[in-house]
């Protein structure tokens, strides 16, 4: 199945380069390009892409505001946002996570890493390094913005998790990949993915990033002061 991608960046040359790169893959396709956040929102609603590759700083509506709008739109529940920017700092990453973004990368990444990132986010997994995942999620929980519409409530479905689902969720929140979780729990990667997906369904998490937030928020993983 082909993953449909929307590119949002104010630099036409960069968009063109990304388009050629993405369209060269049999499993990826660029369906539209946006030069600012407002266009990104409108084109997302028109095309319903699987992944939006979103720049942060754009004229008019910025990428993080556009991400908040896209992730809050129930009609775009199947659309994931991958933030790709030269401005890689804790504040932007934390806001992107609060907004519902599924991944955050610096523009210095290799072409192979970008393509793999799109595939990873399309599959519903978070795209942050293990260390960044733990540090930024902990920071997110310790300093939530007052009245944030994107704040995640305590999930009643936490009681419905099986022991294996809880274990997989805890290890994901500790920044471990599916391969690492499989090795630690002596399970197949496919079984781990099933446990993670079932936990997401029970807790109403749109992707792995929100699942990790919920693990911290519901006390499955205690915040580590050393990472804040």
pLDDT digits (tens, 9 = 90+) for 169-204: 888 877 777 888 999 999 998 899 899 989 988 988
Give the strands of the sheet with 51-54, arranged side by side. 28-34, 3-8, 51-54, 80-85, 103-106
Domain with CATH 1.10.10.10 in the chain: 151-223
**Domain 3-127: CATH architecture, name and number where available:** 3-Layer(aba) Sandwich (3.40)
Q: Count Cβ atoms below 10 Å from residue 129 Cβ, excluding itself.
A: 12
- pLDDT-derived band at 221, boundaries 50, 70, 90: low
Identify the residue with better confidence: 129 or 90: 90
Residue 28 bridge partners (DSSP): 3
What is the number of alpha carbons within 13 Å of residue 152 lying toward its C-beta? 26
Check residue 144 and report its DSSP letter. P
Based on its alpha-carbon atoms, the radius of gyration of the chain, rounded to whole angstroms, reads 17
In the three-class reduction of DSSP (H, G, I as helix; E, B as strand; rest coil), residue 53 is classed as strand
Q: Which of 62, 54, 109, 110 is nearest to 82 (CA)?
A: 54
d(CA 63, CA 83): 8
Q: What is the pLDDT of residue 149?
A: 38
Check residue 219 and report its DSSP letter. T
Domain with CATH 3.40.50.2300 in the chain: 3-127
Q: What is the pLDDT of residue 136?
A: 57
Token representation of residue 13: 């040359």
pTM: 0.68
Q: Which of 122, 82, 95 is nearest to 1 (CA)?
A: 122
Question: Lowest-confidence range among 32-41, 74-83, 111-120, 199-208?
Answer: 199-208
For the four alpha carbons of 22, 127, 105 and 103, in that order, the dihedral sign comes to positive
Q: What is the pLDDT of residue 176?
A: 77
Question: Lowest-confidence range among 25-39, 117-131, 145-159?
Answer: 145-159
Give tens-digit pLDDT for 40-75. 999 999 999 999 999 988 989 999 999 999 999 999
Query: What class, spelled out in words, does domain 151-223 have in CATH?
Result: mainly alpha
- Which residues, in sequence order, are CB contacts of 49 under 8 Å at separation 6+? 4, 5, 6, 31, 32, 79
d(CA 115, CA 84): 12
């Amino acid at each position: 199945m082909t993953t449909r991608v929307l590119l949002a960046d104010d630099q036409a040359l960069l968009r063109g380069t990304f388009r050629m790169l993405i369209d060269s893959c049999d499993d990826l396709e660029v369906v539209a390009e946006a030069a600012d956040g407002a266009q990104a929102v409108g084109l997302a609603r028109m095309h319903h892409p699987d992944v939006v590759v979103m720049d942060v700083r754009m004229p008019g509506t910025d990428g993080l505001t556009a991400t908040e709008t896209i992730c809050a739109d129930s009609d775009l529940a199947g659309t994931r946002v991958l933030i790709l920017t030269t401005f890689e700092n804790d504040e932007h990453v934390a806001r992107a996570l609060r907004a519902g973004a599924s991944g955050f990368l610096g523009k210095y990444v290799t072409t192979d890493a970008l393509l793999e990132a799109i595939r990873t986010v399309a599959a519903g997994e978070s795209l942050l390094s293990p260390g960044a995942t733990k540090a930024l999620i902990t920071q997110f929980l310790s300093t939530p913005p007052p009245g944030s519409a994107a704040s995640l409530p305590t999930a009643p479905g936490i009681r419905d998790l099986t022991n294996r689902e809880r274990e997989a969720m805890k290890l994901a929140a500790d920044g471990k990949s599916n391969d690492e979780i499989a090795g630690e729990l002596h399970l197949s990667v496919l079984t781990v993915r099933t446990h993670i997906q079932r936990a997401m369904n029970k807790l109403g998490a749109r992707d792995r990033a929100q699942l990790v937030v919920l693990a911290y928020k519901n006390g499955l993983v205690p915040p580590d002061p050393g990472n804040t």
